[in-house]
Amino acid sequence: MALATNSPNQTSYDVIIIGGAIMGASAAWFLSDNKDFNGRVLVVERDPSYENCSTTHTNSCMRQQFSTALNVQISQFAADFVKNIRSYMGGDERVPELSIRSFGYMYLADTEAFADVLRESQQVQLAQGAATQLMTPAQIAAAYPFYNVEDIVLGSINLVDEGLFDAGAVFDWWRRQSRERGVEYVQNEVVAINRNAAGNRVESVTLKSGDVVACGQVVNASGPRAAATACMAGIDVPVEPRKRYSWIFKADTPLDRDLPLTIDPSGVHVRENGGGTYQCGGHADVDPAVDYDDYVMDFSIWENHVWPVLATRIPQFETIKVQSEWAGHYAYNTFDHNAILGPHSELTNFLFLNGFSGHGLQQSPAMGRGIAELVAHGEYRSLDLSPFAYDRIPAKRPIVEKAVI
């Protein structure tokens, strides 16, 4: 069934944001909140139900356990934003007070090489003020006796500002308040990006409805569809949709304390969900790019991989019942699994907000703020995000982030 479309109210905007999920909504809100920007903003979203977007298929968690200082700082701002969202939104009493359920992420290393990575990363995290602790198998068993740690060499956990938060509330209020400030959202789809005669700037976009809309700058916030959007501008970007599977299950014998978001050495991850239920995720060993509309479940992954891993790591999970399951997409940056942010090196009014590889929700406050600063000031003012610039890709200068789930 074809999606409905509606036309924009204007024929020209200062900024057109392609994609209205968490990244597009963040950029739109931070533009509306920037005192030095008074331009018109249009957000074009193909499916405002957000039924299949990465935002609605998320774990809704944040962590500071990254191996690069900048990624730690990005998540620290996210934690501050969530905990002080009403203040950030001008004291609006309609905005809920939010918190982070800080049960932490528990990385489990089963080799000395992986343990060394955790040790090195902890030093990076501590230098940024994070509260990461390393735990021996005995310490893990004492604090979390439900784990089987026979094969574990070391664990790493941070119980401060690391865990579950209400990402849906943040998303909803970014859209609601930015609309009230004049940001326009339309249900439509960009089908062409049109350059000027010199070929060095985007001058307009063509929508599925037939509207041709002029623009000052374009922001690619199309999540797993980032490459298709960039292609319309004649640009290659190494982002592709990778399928990620999630399950919510109920345990016959629930754990007697919160379960950290546990990253098993196999790659399977599982966390507390509340009420004796838990959410886990994983993917197939063969992990190709998939079609943009492919959300078909592979039920064999649960039976043959995920459940056996869970039951081995946490024996109380031998008897569990799946309550719901779904497949979603990571916007997977195949170059270095990190964000691609800011202007293209030649088409300078085409801005990337792409490639978050599963980190998008927790990185959205800093990334949206960064895009808004680039648009309003031509530079980053709060946190220098320039290492994520597009030019690192043709220069073959990857950012090595070791903590990718």
pLDDT tens, position by position, 33-79? 999 999 999 999 999 888 877 666 677 899 999 999 999 999 999 99
pTM: 0.95
Residues 268 and 281 sit within 8 Å (Cβ to Cβ) = yes
Residues 306 and 279 sit within 8 Å (Cβ to Cβ) = no
Largest CA distance in the chain: 68
Confidence of residue 401 (pLDDT cuts 50, 70, 90): confident
For 156-184, what is each residue's pLDDT tens digit? 999 999 999 999 999 999 999 999 999 99
The per-residue b/e assignment along 329-339, b for 16 or more CB within 10 angstroms, e otherwise, is: bbbbbebbbbb
Task: Please state the rounded mean pLDDT for residues 224-232.
Answer: 98
| pLDDT value at residue 1 | 39
DSSP assignment, residue 18?
A: E
Paired tokens of 115? 């343990």
Identity at 139, one-letter amino acid code: Q
- Helices 167-180 and 22-33 cross at an angle (nearest 10°) of 50
DSSP assignment, residue 338?
A: S
3-class secondary-structure state, position 157: strand
CA 165 to chain centre: 13
Task: Please state the rounded mean pLDDT for residues 118-146.
Answer: 98
Cα-Cα end-to-end distance for the chain = 34
Q: Name residue 52's beta-bridge partners.
A: none
Q: Is the pLDDT of residue 88 over 60?
A: yes
For 318-376, what is each residue's pLDDT tens digit? 999 999 999 999 999 999 999 999 999 999 999 999 999 888 899 999 999 999 999 99
| pLDDT value at residue 64 | 96
DSSP letters of 48-109?
TT-TTSGGGGS--EE----SSHHHHHHHHHHHHHHHTHHHHTTT-TTSPP---B---EEEEE
| pLDDT value at residue 167 | 94
Q: Is the pLDDT of residue 3 over 90?
A: no
Task: Please state the rounded mean pLDDT for residues 289-296.
Answer: 95
Residues 250 and 346 sit within 8 Å (Cβ to Cβ) = no
Q: What is the rounded average pLDDT for all residues in the chain?
A: 95
| pLDDT value at residue 56 | 67
| pLDDT value at residue 402 | 81
| pLDDT value at residue 60 | 80
- Helices 22-33 and 360-377 cross at an angle (nearest 10°) of 40
Of 51-60, 100-109, 264-273, 315-324, the range with the lowest mean pLDDT is 51-60
| pLDDT value at residue 51 | 81
| pLDDT value at residue 5 | 80
Q: Is the pLDDT of residue 131 over 70?
A: yes
